[in-house]
Amino acid sequence: MAARLGYMSIDEIAGDTLTGHFTSTYSMNVGTAYAAWGSALLYFAWIQSGKPADTPIGRIAARYPRPDWFNQDFVKELEQSVEDVTFQTPNTPSTRFLVRVCDPDLLAGLHTSAWEDYYFG
């Protein structure tokens, strides 16, 4: 069963930073920023980029039989690459976000995109 989460856009990828906008479904609170959010945003950027296998995230994903948000080992490995996550307006229904990674090469192969509905599950 999938859970609908909301609208997301990846607006810019530059150096070691990925920035964008997130709006939660049903005006729910987006919460606060932490490393797991950063790994989720990286994961969705990778999916929207076509899941390229020849990228750093693609090579991480190849180590796992099911590289998705529910594979905690995959998530933890992505989290280790996240240096900082910032929500411009935490604890609101919508926020701009910034994800900074330890190694800018991790963002190779990702591109800007937006999608109205995205789901976990």
20 phi and psi angles, rounded to 5 deg: -175, -160
Assess whether pLDDT exceeds 70 at residue 65. Answer: yes
Assess whether pLDDT exceeds 70 at residue 38. Answer: yes
Q: Which of 67, 52, 55, 68 is nearest to 103 (CA)?
A: 55
| Average pLDDT, rounded, for the chain | 85
pTM (two decimals): 0.85
Measured distance CA(78)–CA(92) in Å, rounded? 25
Assess whether pLDDT exceeds 60 at residue 58. Answer: yes
Output the pLDDT for position 56.
Answer: 94
Which residues in 86-119 are b (16+ Cβ under 10 Å) and which e?
bbeeeeeeebebbbbbeeeebbebbeebeeeebe
Assess whether pLDDT exceeds 70 at residue 27. Answer: no
Output the pLDDT for position 16.
Answer: 97
Range in 13-17, 40-44, 66-70, 113-117 the model is least confident about: 66-70
